[in-house]
């Protein structure tokens, strides 16, 4: 199921899609273009936020990124995974 954005339009992302991170997040060791998996979407007026899980190549959690995907693509915040 896709998340409605505004009347008559649809967002092209949905939960469990892979999505590229739009900027570096050095604290997580994430470079621009690295991918994560969308764990949730949130609509706040005209802004769509994605909660993205980032994992190491081994599958262990690296952290989570909250990023805006509409209207702009930018990182809002991040959290590191517990060690």
Return the DSSP state at 10: B
57 within domain boundaries: yes
Q: What is the mean pLDDT of residues 21-30?
A: 95
Q: What are the CB-based long-range contacts (under 8 Å, 24+) for 48-54? A: 48/3, 48/5, 48/11, 49/76, 50/13, 50/19, 52/19, 52/21, 54/21, 54/28, 54/30
Q: How confident is the model at residue 79 (pLDDT cuts 50, 70, 90)?
A: very high
| Three-class SS state of 26 | helix
12 within domain boundaries: no
Range with the lowest mean pLDDT among 9-23, 31-45, 49-63? Answer: 9-23
Domain that holds residue 59: 18-80
pTM strictly above 0.85: no
Judge contact between 54 and 36, C-beta under 8 A. Answer: yes
The pLDDT value recorded for residue 4 is: 47
Q: What is the mean pLDDT of residues 31-58?
A: 94
For residues 82 and 28, what is the distance between their CA atoms, to the nearest angstrom?
A: 12
Number of domains in the chain: 1
């Amino acid at each position: 199921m896709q998340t409605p954005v505004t009347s008559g339009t649809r967002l092209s992302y949905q939960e469990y899609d892979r999505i590229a991170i739009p900027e570096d997040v050095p604290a997580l060791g994430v470079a621009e273009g690295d991918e994560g998996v969308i764990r949730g979407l949130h609509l706040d007026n005209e802004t769509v936020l994605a909660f993205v899980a980032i994992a190491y190549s081994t599958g262990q959690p690296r952290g989570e990124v909250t990023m805006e995907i509409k209207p702009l693509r930018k990182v809002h915040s991040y959290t590191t995974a517990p060690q």
